[in-house]
Amino acid sequence: MLIQKVSEAQLKNKPKILVIGDLMIDRYIYGNSSRLSPEAPVPIVNIQNESITLGGAANVIQNLVSLGANVNVAGIIGNDNAGIQLIEHLEIDFLDTDLIVKDSTRVTTLKTRIMVGNHQLVRLDNEVTHPMAVELENELIEKIDDAVREADIVVLSDYNKGLLTESFTSRVIALATLYEKKVIVDPKGLDYRKYKGAFLIKPNRKELAEASKSENINSIEKLKNAASVIFDQTDVPYMVVTLSEQGMVLLSPDTHVELPVKATEVFDVTGAGDTVISCIAYFVSLGMDLEDACELANHAAAIVIRRLGAVTTTVEEILADLAQSVKQGVHLAH
């Protein structure tokens, strides 16, 4: 039984997972609004409070910490206050931040959302997305060598902010291949060839359509056709395509497994993709097979989309959701 498999796997080890990706800060400003400005036809927001959370690859890290992984993180930030805040938030979870490099030519990505009630009024992005310099790339490759060798699995969390360039990504995957480590990728952009040599790529439906130059992926056949384009480009053995409230599909070049969504209610799909890739990485690094890992990730996604915002879940919650499905007679993959 899958629940027993997880319990036995957890007793054996605490996986070491290296996350390399675009680190961000999400800032939320909450207020109320009852009138328009006399200066322009825009609402006046009276600020009540604000909060800071981790975003991008940093949200993947939070998910992995919540699952119980031993996480190492590598990336670049600006030499600014947002970068200081990001480091402080990571260190709350006792994470080692020595592999995070400061780039004086960029700012730390900061996304500020103005919220009135549960409605997002506007989002302000402060970011620099140019590719990192070759000197910085060389420094980072040198820094991560030991971490790649010691990791059970490597996660690339790409948000197209200038870190995971074609050159750097290829070098990271080559390093992982040298040390016989699997690489799992949350991709971004229109050209997935830079992920050649990875173990698994996890796009969502929209990302897959754009990268494969496909239109209107509204059936499993169209999805398989789009995926075949990426398989041809990258030679990866596996792909997981997330379909928001419709679940996900695990594909190889020759087969596919559909995993319908487990949620009875869908409130917010924000951050669900981060949860999925975190769970797949975590359970595969425990030694579980990929289909079981995807089944568990599907239950994890069901948990987080029942909640508002980018939230995390735990192995205990996932197993409870799985047990509830068994109780209700839902067919599960074993």
Write the pLDDT tens digit of every residue in 52-70. 889 999 999 999 999 999 9
Residue 330 DSSP SS3? coil
Q: Determine the Cα angle at 119 with ends 118 and 121, to 5°.
A: 145
Q: Among 26, 158, 274, 292, which one carries the catalytic annotation?
A: 274
Quote the pTM value.
0.90
Per-residue confidence (pLDDT) for residue 250, from 0 to 100: 94
Q: Which fold has domain 2-26+56-327?
A: UDP-N-acetylmuramoyl-L-alanine:D-glutamate ligase (3.40.1190)
Contact 198, 238 (CB under 8 A): no
Per-residue confidence (pLDDT) for residue 80, from 0 to 100: 93
Residue 156, CA atoms < 13 Å, CB-side half-sphere = 34
Per-residue pLDDT of the chain (334 residues; tens, 9 = 90+): 777 777 667 766 789 999 999 999 999 999 999 999 999 999 999 999 999 889 999 999 999 999 999 999 999 999 999 999 999 999 987 788 999 999 999 999 999 999 998 788 999 999 999 999 999 999 999 999 999 999 999 999 999 999 999 999 999 999 999 999 999 999 999 999 999 999 999 999 999 999 999 988 888 999 999 999 999 999 999 999 988 777 889 999 999 998 876 655 554 455 578 889 999 999 999 988 899 899 889 888 888 766 656 678 888 888 787 777 766 664 444 4
- Residue 268 appears among annotated catalytic residues: no
For the chain, the C-alpha Rg in angstroms (whole number) is 20
Per-residue confidence (pLDDT) for residue 11, from 0 to 100: 63
Per-residue confidence (pLDDT) for residue 186, from 0 to 100: 95
* CA distances from residue 117 to 19, 24, 52, 222, 270 in whole angstroms, order as listed: 34, 24, 17, 39, 17
Per-residue confidence (pLDDT) for residue 1, from 0 to 100: 72
Alpha-carbon distance of 202 to 187, in angstroms, equals 7
Q: What percent of the chain shows pLDDT beyond 90?
A: 67
Strands 248-251 and 256-259: antiparallel
Tokens representing 32 are 């109320």
DSSP assignment, residue 204? B
Q: Determine the Cα angle at 285 with ends 173 and 13, to 5°.
A: 135
Q: Determine the Cα angle at 319 with ends 316 and 321, to 5°.
A: 110
Ordered DSSP codes for 252-275: -SS-EEEE----S--S--TTHHHH
Count CB-CB contacts under 10 A for residue 226.
Answer: 23
* H helix intervals, the chain: 2-12, 57-67, 81-92, 134-150, 166-178, 205-212, 220-234, 272-285, 290-304, 315-327
Alpha-carbon distance of 296 to 278, in angstroms, equals 11
